[in-house]
Structure 1
């Protein structure tokens, strides 16, 4: 299968694993999501244009950075070089650096640079990156790409001595790490809006949560269930083995045939398995997912298209070409040499956000006053807006996860063949 429109769709992947089914390869789920498809887009905080003026946002100047001046260097840590890595995260960050230097005047005229440390697959590699960043006096601050392994050893070394900016927290130790800010959210706290959406838009009273029995999916399922229970929805959650392909039993046990809303939390073959189970049950209920199942293997397993479900994300979809902030990102990142394929991948997009956020912070501090302390203090004051993200964030809101700055999400209805329609504005957890 080679569908050109799939490339930008895959860029919708964000935060957690979830997907669901269709009755014929993902193309006949319109009845199942009839309520979601007809929902008014006025639900949630109104979505304005977002950040479209990068020059004003970062407080820069329309000129090139002066290469005669010493660079301001950011540390950059990312998992890549293996099948599960995200090299596009580094590509997105490097494109943003080029854009800052070519179009936004650098940092007070100084060129911006990245010091890159890659993690391949082992936890102990994070220790090496932590030591590199800590021991380099030219690096006042660090940013993460997709660091889902190595984060614990990294944080044990850095120990809050330098600030760390994270777009999406995928590593388990990141939400509690010292001197850290996560601007899009983490696995546990971004699921609150699932409760608000299910209650206020779908008017659900019962929910079926079906999840893989992996540590991260258990956390996600627990968070989603608690959010919906807080919204007054009765939840039944059932797990299944990651290697299972016939999921009729777990889906039935969770009440997938009768619940008002179905929330699958899985990936890859799990998405396909849930899809086939829902087809067997003849389910016509809405499915609300996170977008990990928007992947080529799921589309292939379902006959060529992705499930026409509702997807909640903590970001404006990079594939939503109608959104003004996405148009601004696409235009700017194209000028900076980021390929079209990479533009639509979420790790490139959120890494672009991270670098421009740091540019805003560093300019506010001033090139001659940049130290780990001054950058950390300025970053701690950051309240948004987030580029292609929430209009306002609050770091330190949660005592159990002080690094988490966001608990908001938007919901999109997938129409098929790469077309999404916004279903809500920014939703917060149920009160």
Structure 2
């Protein structure tokens, strides 16, 4: 399936603490509505779509608000304000058109992590000491989550929208609704099952713990599947990627996997790939789909990109994306892509859980409902199965999507609408 984007493609930001700390900033304004915004659907259609998902009602919510905790990383060099903005747009839709929860509006009680683990601990203490909060949403927080989860100690349920650290995957009473940074299996599955590669070049950064771990994991999975891997690495100061790419074997491979996040690395690798005339499929993360990269190259690199959600640059590809874009545009939220969808999905998952709980909105009941959740949030993996990954018990999925960019705003759904490694619910 091919689609042409009429808006800016999503800005993807760093997915792990190690990579983020290597950047001077991890947020940027991108993903504006652009020329095709009107095709995204009407506001009433968006409300109808999310009403079906949440089980909420109609009209404007009134009365005493129901408070939900919100924790996000923003305000420092590593910052994800767009995740909070999308959460706010979701709250506005719920309160203005879906009747809130049982007729009552919802309210986000926000706590911000800026730069340190101590701030994560402080946010946890704030969430625990507030008797009005029975449920917490974690936006995107690659810093502070270790102390946050340690302090929470499972006493209140936490919806983790985009797991970025090991702490996010093992925390008690936490529920990861996306694969987040844990997509190594997706890379392996895509190149073995779709590309059917027998020999793969693998390029990853060597001075960032998260990138090193991901490279090791991808290599191990591929070799277990019988694939020969030619791995090479680069440092955060590398500017000429010709030598590292040459070391991977170039066109002697059936495919090339690039583990890169920062715009300079994405640009540098793409230029070297073009210079070396590497014609085999290149697979990278959606972190290389950004305005900075497009500015540096003149267009996005013609690679296949692994996404943990549906590509929000393509409103015609999914009713969920269309409804999301309509809501964001109505509330003047300019960045539609990157990690913004995580906040929106987190709020909608929380609302669905609160609606299901009815008058019994205790932490114990909410935990019970989240544990039993089988249906994923719109735009994200459609299936969740908590407990499916024994060593990462807080993850409900490791599945992702793949989209191939063909230039001039044209994208192809690389797996015909199917999720890679979709978890099986029992």
Shorter-chain TM-score tier: 0.7 to 0.9
Tell me the distance in 2 between the aligned counterparts of 1:216 and 1:79.
18
Instruction: Determine if the alignment matches structure 1 residue 348 to structure 2 residue 340.
Output: yes
More helix by share: 2
Is contact 2:125-2:152 (8 Å) kept? Answer: yes
Match of 2:327 among 323, 332, 346: 332
Match of 1:95 in 2: 89
The 1:8–1:374 alpha-carbon spacing in structure 2 relative to 1, beyond 3 Å, is farther
1:52 Cα shift? 7.1
Tell me the distance in 2 between the aligned counterparts of 1:346 and 1:157.
29
Match of 1:205 among 193, 198, 204: 198
1:360-388 Cα offsets, whole Å, 9 max, x none, are 0001001x311111111111111113210
Is contact 2:65-2:104 (8 Å) kept? Answer: yes
Classify the secondary structure of the residue corresponding to 1:168: coil
Is contact 1:196-1:430 (8 Å) kept? Answer: no
Tell me the distance in 1 between the aligned counterparts of 2:170 and 2:343.
21
1:89 Cα shift? 0.7
Match of 2:370 in 1: 379
Match of 2:111 in 1: 117
Range that drifts further, 421-430 or 8-17: 8-17
Tell me the distance in 2 between the aligned counterparts of 1:378 and 1:200.
35
Match of 1:403 in 2: 394
Classify the secondary structure of the residue corresponding to 1:83: coil
1:130-172 Cα offsets, whole Å, 9 max, x none, are 1111111111011111101010111111111111101111133
Match of 2:355 among 351, 360, 363: 363
Tell me the distance in 2 between the aligned counterparts of 1:85 and 1:112.
25
Classify the secondary structure of the residue corresponding to 1:369: coil
Instruction: Determine if the alignment matches structure 1 residue 220 to structure 2 residue 214.
Output: yes
1:324-369 Cα offsets, whole Å, 9 max, x none, are 221121223334x142x22x22332221111011100001001x31
Tell me the distance in 2 between the aligned counterparts of 1:15 and 1:365.
32
Instruction: Determine if the alignment matches structure 1 residue 423 to structure 2 residue 414.
Output: yes
1:39-74 Cα offsets, whole Å, 9 max, x none, are xxxxxxxxxxx997211211111121122xx22111
Instruction: Flag structure 1 segments of 5+ consecutive residues without an equivalent.
Output: 18-49
Classify the secondary structure of the residue corresponding to 2:201: strand
Is contact 1:315-1:390 (8 Å) kept? Answer: yes
Tell me the distance in 1 between the aligned counterparts of 2:47 and 2:237.
42
In the TM superposition, 1:35-184 aligns within 5 A as 53-67=49-63, 70-184=64-178
Tell me the distance in 1 between the aligned counterparts of 2:218 and 2:362.
39
Tell me the distance in 2 between the aligned counterparts of 1:406 and 1:54.
21
Match of 2:267 among 239, 259, 272: 272
Is contact 2:177-2:396 (8 Å) kept? Answer: yes
1:14 Cα shift? 7.6
Higher relative contact order (CA 8 A, sep 6+): 1
Task: Name the TM-score, length of structure 2 as normaliser.
Answer: 0.85
Classify the secondary structure of the residue corresponding to 2:195: coil
Tell me the distance in 1 between the aligned counterparts of 2:47 and 2:104.
24
Instruction: Determine if the alignment matches structure 1 residue 8 to structure 2 residue 23.
Output: no
Is contact 1:196-1:429 (8 Å) kept? Answer: no
Tell me the distance in 2 between the aligned counterparts of 1:187 and 1:273.
22
1:430 Cα shift? 11
Range that drifts further, 71-80 or 278-287: 278-287
Tell me the distance in 2 between the aligned counterparts of 1:57 and 1:87.
25
1:273 Cα shift? 2.2
Instruction: Flag structure 2 segments of 5+ consecutive residues without an equivalent.
Output: 20-45
Task: Name the TM-score, length of structure 1 as normaliser.
Answer: 0.85
Classify the secondary structure of the residue corresponding to 1:346: coil
Is contact 2:137-2:159 (8 Å) kept? Answer: yes
Tell me the distance in 1 between the aligned counterparts of 2:174 and 2:117.
19
Instruction: Determine if the alignment matches structure 1 residue 292 to structure 2 residue 296.
Output: no
Classify the secondary structure of the residue corresponding to 2:82: helix
Query: Alignment RMSD, CA only?
Result: 2.4
Tell me the distance in 1 between the aligned counterparts of 2:139 and 2:273.
35
Instruction: Determine if the alignment matches structure 1 residue 232 to structure 2 residue 223.
Output: no
Give the count of matched residue pairs: 388
Classify the secondary structure of the residue corresponding to 1:228: helix
Match of 1:191 in 2: 184
Classify the secondary structure of the residue corresponding to 1:53: helix
1:15 Cα shift? 4.3
Match of 2:383 in 1: 392
Is contact 2:283-2:306 (8 Å) kept? Answer: yes
